[in-house]
Structure 1
């Protein structure tokens, strides 16, 4: 029987160990610091790498996060491919989404792409978001690249792609950015599920996007 092209490659502990060392050296992270970031003792880190990902998948997930990479990149090597590798499905259908359908799709929180005005063209950044009273809010550093200026016009996109079925959807929200300064509003936003940024670090500034236009599309099949 032929191996499924989409199945994961067997893990090679020696190759994984090499990738961990190379990534740590590139980031300037000592072994003890890596173990601490991954929430494990250095001795356990050694055992984990020798045993392979089948021994403790959660431990490898924490290692990948500590190294700023993905589980697949760490275990299998190489970058995750961009979505859309399979091509279009037979008989595709493009459907416009209503505003309610758009909000239903993005849910209460997730990861989207923020587009800010910048020269010579717009700059786009992935950020964690929460939905709060019909607005989008996200956390960043006051001096960070994603810290939109109050009053600036911004766009925010959330999408999902199903490579297996060659279908998906995309929601685009255009609006005006404002900084959230009221302490009670900040506490409420911080209490939302998904409020903790994946990028980590201290990100005390909440930016809210008040929508002026919400649109979306989905691609399916007949």
Structure 2
């Protein structure tokens, strides 16, 4: 079996290697693709993923750019740090994100946050999610707050975001709508088979819940001159005259 694109493969020997392989798989890139972007070779990308490398800072920067992420995220430097600690970017601006792009940013699956009414009021907790036919699917325990909410069909809010600490920019997507429990066995099995990753937490989380959003909105903060930010006359520095 070919495990070259599987970040769970046992040959990923280091934290860096696992993060590189996972990010590459998330972007749908081959080692050849990453090597071309980073000005390296497929063999060295394989070495980074499979062994315990100590690449220089210059290569890490190129590799992070190739994988559309930051050195901090790639090396896990900020894995345990609360996000958003960087200073605001110079001349940062906020813009709305259209619904089509919101779905693209959700990228099919991942981990987001859901807000639901619980026994003690509003609760917000992380969830593994999967996009299925224009809805968001979750796996939860049958006695969870999310399962109880789905039984009554109340509205919940689901949020996903990304931040680039190095440039103080990022985006967030918010989906609001009713949730329901998928009780029909064939439909539930189809969704379970489509799920990319089972819930990280244990505890019999095999109840399928679907969020059918009535409202999909997003916002982005961009800093002129930062990666991914459009450039134009308005973004140029003053001439000093």
Normalised-by-shorter TM-score class? 0.5 to 0.7
Q: Compare 204-213 and 148-157 and name the one that shifted more.
A: 148-157
Residue number in structure 2 paired with 1:176: 178
Please say if residues 117 and 153 of structure 1, whose CA atoms lie closer than 8 Å, have aligned partners that are also in contact: no
> Is 1:198 aligned to residue 155 of structure 2?
no
Q: Distance in 2 between matches of 1:193 and 1:208?
A: 12
| 1:157-172 pair list within 5 angstroms | 157-172=159-174
Q: Distance in 1 between matches of 2:79 and 2:218?
A: 29
What secondary structure does 2:204 align onto? coil
Deviation at residue 193 of structure 1 after TM alignment: 4.4
Q: Distance in 2 between matches of 1:170 and 1:164?
A: 17
Q: Distance in 1 between matches of 2:140 and 2:167?
A: 35
What secondary structure does 1:125 align onto? strand
If asked which structure has higher relative contact order (CA below 8 Å, sep 6+), I would say 1
RMSD over equivalenced CA pairs, Å? 2.8
Residue number in structure 1 paired with 2:236: none
Q: Distance in 2 between matches of 1:200 and 1:209?
A: 22
Deviation at residue 134 of structure 1 after TM alignment: 0.5
TM-score by length of 1: 0.63
Structure 1 residues 92-142: Cα deviation after superposition (integer angstroms, max 9, x where no partner): 010100110110100110111110023664111100000011100100100
> Is 1:57 aligned to residue 11 of structure 2?
no
Q: Which runs of 5+ in 2 are unaligned?
A: 1-11, 19-75, 225-241
Residue number in structure 1 paired with 2:223: 221
Q: Distance in 2 between matches of 1:119 and 1:164?
A: 39
Structure 1 residues 117-169: Cα deviation after superposition (integer angstroms, max 9, x where no partner): 23664111100000011100100100123323331111100111111111110
Structure 1 residues 164-186: Cα deviation after superposition (integer angstroms, max 9, x where no partner): 11111000000001000111211
Residue number in structure 2 paired with 1:209: 211
Please say if residues 83 and 163 of structure 1, whose CA atoms lie closer than 8 Å, have aligned partners that are also in contact: yes
Q: Distance in 1 between matches of 2:195 and 2:211?
A: 18
Q: Distance in 2 between matches of 1:177 and 1:216?
A: 20
> Is 1:185 aligned to residue 187 of structure 2?
yes
Over 3 Å counting, the alpha-carbon distance change for 1:119 and 1:191 in structure 2 is: closer
Structure 1 residues 3-52: Cα deviation after superposition (integer angstroms, max 9, x where no partner): xxxxxxxxxxxxxxxxxxxxxxxxxxxxxxxxxxxxxxxxxxxxxxxxxx
